[in-house]
Amino acid sequence: MTTVGNTVRITGTFKDWDDNLSDAPDVKLIIYDGGRSVIEEIEPEDIDHVSTGTYRYHYIIPESPPGRLTFEFSSPSAPDGPIVGRTEVDRQW
């Protein structure tokens, strides 16, 4: 469980069809609330490129809206085709 007000490190990895880490252009991070409404969209220039195929963003868990959060890393123009990955976290006060 994630606590409201804490900073979390969100990491996304992208792989090619051969399961090798691969850089993806135009990586985007979208954060949704439990009702799948967008809370925030993080643009590529604000996401850290850590190493080949690995991207990171530091995010402060908001108090509102309550409930689950979904983090979605995507790249619409990845070399092997568009790719989307999501993970959910519960948060507590």
- Using DSSP, state whether 65 is helix, strand or coil: coil
Segment 54-67 shows an average pLDDT of: 90
What pLDDT shows up at residue 34? Answer: 87
Q: What is the pLDDT of residues 5-28, one digit of tens each?
A: 999 999 999 998 899 999 998 999
Contact 19, 74 (CB under 8 A): no
Residue 51 has pLDDT above 90, yes or no: yes
State residue 58's pLDDT score.
Answer: 97
Name the token pair of 59: 């995010």
Domain architecture of the chain: domains with CATH: 2-92 (2.60.40.1930)
Contacts of 43 (CB under 8 A, 6+ apart): 28
